[in-house]
């Protein structure tokens, strides 16, 4: 009687395997680059000082006590703690998801970028009470997009990759 041969190869199920520490390393690189750029700008500029780079881009030192696009920036200070807590909780959940789905490359890239950006901004909130922003895109000095930083860029790129990954999954 023939017996079914079991596959003993090293293929691992989606819910385990893979080196999830690599994804934490990517987040750490985002945090490091974010903090280095913020420290450099903070030491090189006075608050609200602007350096024109191109006709549509400036470097400037700005502080944001709120969230994206200065959401809740004019509130009394409670938002600092709320956004810090959101960043910490999101990082804990993302760490769990990275560990569980370490072999899903696009998904983990997205989460790693989001977590690195979130922690980069949490560091600012804890250390300074605000987030340091310095990238200022504008249209003919008439309209300025809200200033942002590398952490914000990583979060946006991560969100775009997350959407792309979900669209890929839906197509399958």
Residues 102-157: tens digit of each pLDDT: 999 999 999 999 999 999 999 999 999 999 999 999 998 789 889 999 999 999 99
The arrangement of strands across the sheet holding 143-144 comes to: 50-52, 57-64, 131-139, 143-144
Distance CA 69, CA 147 (A): 8
Out of 34, 133, 136, 165, pick the active-site residue.
133
> What is the tens place of the pLDDT at every residue in 86-98?
999 999 999 999 9
- Cβ-based neighbour number of residue 74 at 10 Å: 9
pLDDT in tens, 55-75: 999 999 999 987 766 676 666
Q: Tell me the C-alpha distance between 53 and 105, whole Å.
A: 35
Active site residue 152: yes
Q: Is the pLDDT of residue 5 over 70?
A: no
CA gap 23, 97 in Å, rounded: 11
Asked if 112 and 23 count as a contact pair (C-beta separation under 8 A), the reply is yes
The residues facing 132 across adjacent strands are 63
- Phi, psi for residue 81 in degrees, rounded to 5: -70, -40
Active site residue 34: no
Q: How far apart are alpha carbons 34 and 82 in whole angstroms?
A: 21
pTM of the model: 0.86
| Mean per-residue pLDDT of the chain | 88
CA separation for the pair 94, 111 (Å, rounded)? 6
Annotated active-site residue in 34, 124, 136, 152: 152
Buried b (16+ CB within 10 A) or exposed e, 137-167: ebeeeeeeebbbbbbbbbbebbeebbeebee
């Amino acid at each position: 009687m023939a017996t079914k041969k079991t596959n003993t190869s090293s293929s691992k199920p989606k819910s385990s395997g893979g080196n999830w520490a690599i994804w934490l390393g990517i987040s750490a690189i985002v945090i490091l680059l974010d903090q280095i750029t913020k420290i450099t700008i903070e030491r090189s500029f006075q608050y609200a000082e602007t350096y024109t780079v191109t006709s549509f881009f400036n470097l400037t030192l700005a502080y944001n006590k709120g969230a994206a696009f200065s959401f809740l920036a004019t509130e009394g200070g409670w938002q600092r703690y709320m956004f810090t807590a959101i960043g910490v909780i999101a990082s804990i959940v993302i760490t769990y998801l990275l560990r569980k789905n370490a072999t899903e490359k696009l998904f983990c890239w997205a989460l790693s970028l989001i977590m690195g950006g979130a922690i980069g901004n949490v560091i600012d909130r804890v250390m300074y009470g605000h987030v340091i922003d310095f990238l200022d895109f504008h249209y003919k000095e008439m309209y300025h997009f809200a200033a942002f930083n590398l952490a914000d860029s990583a979060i946006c790129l991560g969100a775009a990759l997350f959407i792309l990954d979900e669209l890929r999954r839906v197509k399958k």
